[in-house]
Amino acid sequence: MAEVLVYVDHVDGAVRKPTLELLTLARRIGEPVAVHLGAGADAAAAVLGEYGAVKVLAADASEFADYLVAPKVDALEAAYNAVSPAAVLLPSSAEGKEIAARLAVRIGSGIITDAVDLEAGAEGPVATQSVFAASYSTKSRVTKGTPVITVKPNSAAPEAAQAAGTVEQLAVSFGEKSTGTKVVSRTPRESTGRPELTEAAIVVSGGRGVNGAENFSIIEALADSLGAAVGASRAAVDAGWYPHTNQVGQTGKSVSPQLYIAAGISGAIQHRAGMQTSKTIVAINKDAEAPIFDLVDYGVVGDLFEVVPQLTDEVKTRKG
Ligand SMILES: Cc1cc2nc3c(=O)[nH]c(=O)nc-3n(C[C@H](O)[C@H](O)[C@H](O)COP(=O)(O)OP(=O)(O)OC[C@H]3O[C@@H](n4cnc5c(N)ncnc54)[C@H](O)[C@@H]3O)c2cc1C
For a mutational test of ligand 1's pocket, the pick from 205, 210, 211, 233, i.e. the residue with the most ligand atoms closer than 8 A to its C-beta, is 233
Half-sphere exposure of 226 (CA within 13 A, CB side): 25
Nearest protein Cα to ligand 1, atom 28: 266
Q: Is 247 in the pocket of ligand 1 (CB under 6 A)?
A: yes
**Ligand 1 atom nearest to CA at 287:** 47
Rg of the chain in Å (alpha carbons): 21
Half-sphere exposure of 254 (CA within 13 A, CB side): 23
Q: What phi and psi values does residue 283 have, to the nearest 5 degrees?
A: -125, 145
At 66-78, the pLDDT tens digits run 999 999 999 999 9
Mean pLDDT, residues 270-287:
94
For a mutational test of ligand 1's pocket, the pick from 245, 253, 266, 276, i.e. the residue with the most ligand atoms closer than 8 A to its C-beta, is 266
pLDDT at 134 over 90: no
At 28-64, the pLDDT tens digits run 999 999 999 999 999 999 999 999 999 999 999 999 9
Nearest protein Cα to ligand 1, atom 39: 209
CA 36 vs CA 18, 64, 67, 75, 216: distances in Å: 14, 11, 17, 9, 38
pLDDT at 279 over 80: yes
pLDDT band at 318 (very low <50, low <70, confident <90, very high): very high
Q: What phi and psi values does residue 170 have, to the nearest 5 degrees?
A: -110, 125
C-alpha 272/C-alpha 67 separation (Å) is 36
Mean pLDDT, residues 147-154:
94
Q: What phi and psi values does residue 184 have, to the nearest 5 degrees?
A: -100, -20
The pLDDT value given to residue 133? 67
Q: Is 79 in the pocket of ligand 1 (CB under 6 A)?
A: no
Mean pLDDT, residues 78-89:
97
At 235-265, the pLDDT tens digits run 999 999 999 999 999 999 989 899 999 999 9
Give which of 187, 228, 231, 185 is closest to 207, Cα–Cα.
231
Domains of the chain: 3-179 (3.40.50.620), 202-319 (3.40.50.1220)
**Whole-number mean pLDDT of the chain?**
95
Positive or negative, the CA dihedral 11, 12, 17, 22 is: positive
Nearest protein Cα to ligand 1, atom 31: 266
Nearest protein Cα to ligand 1, atom 51: 270
C-alpha 184/C-alpha 200 separation (Å) is 30
C-alpha 126/C-alpha 141 separation (Å) is 5
Nearest protein Cα to ligand 1, atom 43: 285
pTM value is 0.78
At 297-307, the pLDDT tens digits run 999 999 999 99
Q: Is 97 in the pocket of ligand 1 (CB under 6 A)?
A: no
Sequence letter at residue 10: H
**Cβ proximity of 73 and 111 under 8 Å:** no
At 175-193, the pLDDT tens digits run 888 999 999 999 987 888 9
214 burial class (0-12, 13-18, 19+ CB within 10 angstroms)? Answer: exposed
The pLDDT value given to residue 188? 85
Distance 235 CA to ligand 1 centre (A): 5
Q: Is 299 in the pocket of ligand 1 (CB under 6 A)?
A: no
Give which of 285, 246, 292 is closest to 269, Cα–Cα.
292
Q: Is 174 in the pocket of ligand 1 (CB under 6 A)?
A: no
SS3 170: coil
Distance 222 CA to ligand 1 centre (A): 20
Mean pLDDT, residues 122-134:
88
The pLDDT value given to residue 184? 95
The pLDDT value given to residue 248? 97
